[in-house]
């Protein structure tokens, strides 16, 4: 019997930062920056990112990267089309950076992922000076 795919849900989050898109991009793509806010360890080999939390590694493939604008990752262990995407843009009115996160998750993971992103973004904000 074929495994039934569950319907995925999209989470859209938006945050305002004083840090520039260039600085934020570094915090999403540089190992020394990623370990300051996102994971305990990270190894980047081409398009493959291996993130580790508490000694447990998870692999993600970088599907798309537009410097200082956009990143899209897919988790290697996902059976569905789950991914997360990060977009950065400058507000034309305030000159602040708008950070948008889209995360495609299983329905039972929605609230947990929202809380996780809120926690991670709080750390990112501290590391980038807001």
User: How would you write the pLDDT of the chain (130 residues) with one tens digit per residue?
Assistant: 444 556 889 999 999 999 999 999 999 999 999 999 999 999 999 999 999 999 999 999 999 999 999 999 998 877 667 789 999 999 989 989 999 999 998 899 899 999 999 999 999 999 998 7
Contact, 98 vs 88, CB < 8 A?
A: yes
pLDDT of 30 reads 94
Contact, 85 vs 71, CB < 8 A?
A: yes
- The model's pTM: 0.87
Which domains, from first to last, does the chain contain? 9-128 (3.30.530.20)
pLDDT of 7 reads 84
């Amino acid at each position: 019997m074929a495994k039934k795919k569950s319907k995925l849900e999209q989470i859209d989050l938006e945050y305002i930062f004083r840090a520039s898109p260039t600085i934020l991009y570094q915090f999403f793509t540089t190992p020394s920056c990623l370990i300051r806010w996102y994971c305990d360890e990270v190894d980047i080999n081409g398009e493959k990112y291996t993130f580790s939390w508490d000694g447990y590694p998870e692999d993600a493939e970088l599907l798309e990267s537009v410097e200082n604008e956009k990143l899209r990752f897919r988790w290697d262990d996902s059976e569905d089309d789950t991914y997360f995407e990060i977009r950065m843009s400058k507000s034309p009115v305030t000159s602040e950076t708008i950070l948008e996160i889209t995360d495609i998750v299983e329905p039972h993971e929605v609230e947990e992922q929202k809380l996780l992103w809120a926690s991670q973004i709080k750390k990112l904000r501290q590391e980038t000076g807001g």
